[in-house]
Structures are given as C-alpha cells and as structure tokens.
Structure 1
Amino acid sequence: MSLRITLRVTTPPGFRVDASALLPATLAAMSTAEIERIVLPAGNDRCNVGDVFDVSRSEAAAESAAPHTGATLVIENAAPWLDRVGARMADGHLVVHGSTGDYSGFQMAGGVLHIEGDAGHFTGCEMRGGRLTVTGHSGDFAAGALAGDMEGMTGGTLTIHGNAGARLADRMRRGLVLVGGNAGDFAASRLVAGTIGIAGQAGAHYAYGMRRGTLLLTQRPMHLPPTFAEGGRGFDVFWALLVRSLADEIAPFSQWRTASLPTRYTGDLAVDGRGEILVVS
C-alpha cells in the first residue's frame, strides 16, 4: 500500500508562510489531527496547518512502475505565499498544484519535488540531490548559493520548463540544470562544475567567471564572452554519453543526436579556463 497525504489550501493566511515542515516522510508518521496542529512560522506571525489547509490521508495500491519511494504529499491550490516548499527534503514524493514562493527545494537532498506552476527566487538553491521539476518559470538564483556561501547546487537534477531568472546556477558545483526557456543575466556565473542546458537565449554576462563545467546552448548567442576561445574537436565520446543521459529529459535536450558535434568554446580564461560552452546548432 502507498500512503497519500493531501493538503488543500482553503483559507489563505494573508502573509507569507514557511512550509519547510511539510515533508512527505515527516507527515507520513503523523495522524491527521497531528498534522493539523503543526505550527508554520511566518515572520512575526504564525499559523497552524489546520487554519490554512484541509488535510486528508488515503491508502492506495502501490504502482510497481512508480518513479519514487516513500509517501506522497500533494499540496493543492498552492500560491506564491508558500515559501520553502520541499526545503531539505530527503525522500518521498511532493507534488504541488499551483505556484510556490521562494526557496522551493532549498538544500534538497533526495526524493522528487514536482511544481505544476511557477516558483520564486532561490529555487533549488544549494540543492544536494533528488529531482526538482518546475513546469512554469522560476525566479533569480535557481540552483545558486545564498549570499556569502561558497557553493550552490552540489547534486541532483533541476528542470525548469519555462524561463529562469538572473544568476542561474551561480557557484554551482555539481548536478544537472535544464531550462526550457530563456535565462536571465549572469547564467552559469562562477560555475565550478556541473552541467547547465539553456534551450532559449541566455542574458548578458553568461558564463562569467566560469572555472569548470559545461554550459549547453541550443541557440547561438548574439555575442560570445571575450574570455572564451574556440575549443576544437575531440570530445565525441563525451558528447555521446551526454546525449544518452539527456534522453529522458525535456525537449530539445531529449531530441539531440550524436551525428554532429556542437561547437565548443573554452574559458573563462580570466579565471581558470577549464570550463566549456557547447553551442548546438
């Protein structure tokens, strides 16, 4: 049997709420009454789960092909005043119908978080593992680092079907980030390692201070950074493995073939020069 917990927003509180306590594994061990008594911080205010949500639990036969393990938590009628949804999540499956506020998936370590709407700033910030999907747009600093921290995303997969804001994957160290739309200024800035794919256009100053890692661009940019140089060929095996790993991801990344290699540029020569930009045309 598989446990499904549903939280349906019935009474918006009128202020922003920290939803980091609403995790599948945590709620699975609690009764409906206990879940309703959970206190959600909200700056100088606070509220109980039962004041905002209608809570229900149900048991269903587990599907053998389910892409996740553990309990499933569904948040219905979600709105941008819900911050830190899925923060520090380690396992289970969290589905959000609607949009979320800031810090969705903050320091997420495992499990599956699926947001069927838009997400605010710092989505997947300092993410460590698991899979986070946003079917809409996200704000600034997705997969990035908090101010003053040295590492952004260090593991997992973040997929944004729409546009991403500024500073996408700033200081990212490991993992995979795919954006189906455009990205704002300073995308892949100060990248240490990892793979970032942007299907639309990247804003100004992309790959600024890039040390290592890979930036995939499906559209040729108007201008290439002056601190990048054409990197030549000789990466056939790497490209074949990368295309295979993206086969189950969003288009156009899932539609690439190994027949033709992308154009490769290396840099940022101003800092280390071991990063690469692959332009698929």
Structure 2
Amino acid sequence: MTTITLRVKAPPGFAIDGSPLKPATLASMPFATIEHLALRAGDETVAVSDLFDVSRTEAATDSEQAPTLIIEGDARWLIRLGAGMEAGTLHVHGAVGDYAGAQMRGGLLAIDGDAGEFTACEMRGGRLTVSGNCGAFAASARAGEMEGMTGGTLAIGGNAGERLADRMRRGLVLVGGDCADYAASRLVAGTICVAGRVGAHYGYGMRRGTLLLNTAPATLPTTFVDGGRGFDVFWSLFVRSLANEMAPFSRLAPHRLPRRYAGDVAVDGRGEILIPV
C-alpha cells in the first residue's frame, strides 16, 4: 500500500486548486513528479513542493489496499480538494477550503477540522466526513445546476451552514450539530438527519425524501401536515441503519415511532419530516 504525506509549509495567502491531489493519481506517479506537480492558483501555477514537504512510504503488506494521501496542517486555502475523487483514502489533519469533495464518486475523504462552502456539492458516491463545521450549500448544487448530492454519505460532526442539501436527489447526510436556515430546501429525495437545532424555513420546497430532526424545532412549517402512522417497519429498519453512523442517532428507539409530517404541500411535495418523541 502506498501512503503519501504532504505537510503544509506555510499558507500561500491565496486560493489553490487542490483537485489534482487524489490518492490513486499520486500513487501512480514517481516521487519527483509529485513534487513538481503544478496546482492552479488563478492564472498562475504553483508546484506541490513549494507548498508542502512531501514524503512517501510503501508498505510490504496489504499491497492490494487502496492508496492513501495524508495532508497535515491547516489548508483553508486549498479548494476543491477531493473533487471528482473515485478511490482511495484522503485524510486531512486540519481545515480545508470550499468545494471539498465536489462531485466525488468514491473512496473516503476525512477532514479533521472545518470545511468551507459547497462541501460535497453534487457528490455521487463514497464517504466524506468533517469533524468540525461546514459552510453553506453542503451536499447541494452549484449555481445553474439542477441536482445536488445524488449518492454517498456526508457526515458533519459540527454545524452546517445555510441551504444544506439544496436540490439533493439521493444519498445520506448526517449533522451532529445545528443547521442554519433553509435546511433540505427543494429536496428531491435522499435522507438528512440533524441532531441539533435547525434554522428557519427548513424543508422549503421539499418534494420527496426524509428529514429527521433529533431535536424538536420550536415551530413546524405551515406547509407541512400530519403524516399519519403505519410506517413501523420502515422506522425500525431506518433506526438500525443509523445506529453505527453517528452517536446522537444511535440512541433512537426502533419501537418508539416519531411524529411524522408530510409536505411541502405548497409544491405538491411528498417528503416527510420525522421528529422523535
């Protein structure tokens, strides 16, 4: 197994496109090529070795395991890290910038810190974990695009910004903290679970999908109505699937049905908001 480690030297003072830094891509390169790999910075380019101290290890065992890329240090200036990633493990010991995991298709991207705006936007597969907070538009669509996240899992340990999962169509989003306004706005399908509080206008324009609110909100949107009962089997399976995902959701009881609300009826929506009791 190949492990490549990039240690941040010093912040460059401007944004750098980190999308070429993919585990499988770098593992196939000679060491010197990695050091001289050019990263975009606006109209200019910067070599990897100008930004990082580079090291590489080859494990004699487990040679068939997917390659690993480790980035050590605060890299808030690094945008689009993990964008389009398809395989391998990318582990960041620090914070990253906007568009982390954008259009990601596979593998694991783990961020031990905060992430910027548009994290996991238009994500297609794989798993992305953020131990800290995320900016606005996580798991959503970019301006002009019709679909947000369509697969994979996004797990946010802290808080999420506005428009979480806007236009999301498929996949799973977990938030251990609070969400700002318009969570699950224009949701087409998929599952969103929020352990903390949600801001105003959650579920706005929701068409299908599930929004689980582990903390009861102060008010319910007026365009959601009582969703009735009769979903015992679904709830039991749903709770079991969440048990190992994030600690706040492992305490949900399979035998204790939540309150269920259907909507957004203003758009003829058939989504659901679940609030454990």
Please indicate the TM-score interval, normalised by the length of the shorter structure. Answer: over 0.9
Give the letter aligned to residue 163 of structure 2: R
Q: Check if 1:227 corresponds to 2:226.
A: no
Match of 2:186 in 1: 190
Q: Equivalent residues in 2 for 1:3-42 (5 A)? A: 3-42=2-41
Q: In structure 2, which of residues 66, 81, 86 is the aligned counterpart of residue 85 of structure 1?
A: 81
Q: 1:62 and 1:116, CA in 2 relative to 1: closer, same or farther beyond 3 A?
A: farther
Q: Check if 1:45 corresponds to 2:41.
A: no
Match of 1:177 in 2: 173
Q: What do residues 101-120 of structure 1 show as CA deviations (whole Å, max 9, x unaligned)?
A: 00000000000000000000
Q: In structure 2, which of residues 145, 156, 160 is the aligned counterpart of residue 160 of structure 1?
A: 156
Q: Which consecutive residues of structure 1, in runs of 5 or more, have no partner in the other structure?
A: none
TM-score (norm 2): 0.97
Partner of 1:78, secondary structure, is coil
Contact 1:69-1:91 within 8 A present in 2 as well? no
Contact 2:22-2:90 within 8 A present in 1 as well? yes
Match of 1:73 in 2: 69
Partner of 1:33, secondary structure, is helix
Q: What do residues 105-156 of structure 1 show as CA deviations (whole Å, max 9, x unaligned)?
A: 0000000000000000000000000000000000000000001100000000
Match of 1:60 in 2: 59
Q: In structure 1, which of residues 268, 275, 280 is the aligned counterpart of residue 276 of structure 2?
A: 280
Q: Number of residues paired by the alignment?
A: 277
Percent of counterpart pairs with the same letter?
65
Contact 1:143-1:168 within 8 A present in 2 as well? yes
Equivalents in 2 of 1:61, 1:159: separation in Å?
Answer: 32
Equivalents in 2 of 1:73, 1:56: separation in Å?
Answer: 10
Q: In structure 1, which of residues 242, 250, 268 is the aligned counterpart of residue 238 of structure 2?
A: 242
Name the Cα RMSD after superposition: 1.3
Give the letter aligned to residue 76 of structure 1: E
Q: What do residues 225-260 of structure 1 show as CA deviations (whole Å, max 9, x unaligned)?
A: 000001111001111111111121112112222020
Equivalents in 2 of 1:189, 1:63: separation in Å?
Answer: 44
Contact 2:205-2:269 within 8 A present in 1 as well? no
TM-score (norm 1): 0.96
Equivalents in 2 of 1:119, 1:61: separation in Å?
Answer: 34
Deviation at 1:74? Answer: 0.2
Q: Which consecutive residues of structure 2, in runs of 5 or more, have no partner in the other structure?
A: none
Partner of 1:117, secondary structure, is coil
Deviation at 1:179? Answer: 0.3
Contact 1:78-1:100 within 8 A present in 2 as well? yes
Q: In structure 2, which of residues 142, 146, 149 is the aligned counterpart of residue 146 of structure 1?
A: 142
Give the letter aligned to residue 270 of structure 1: A
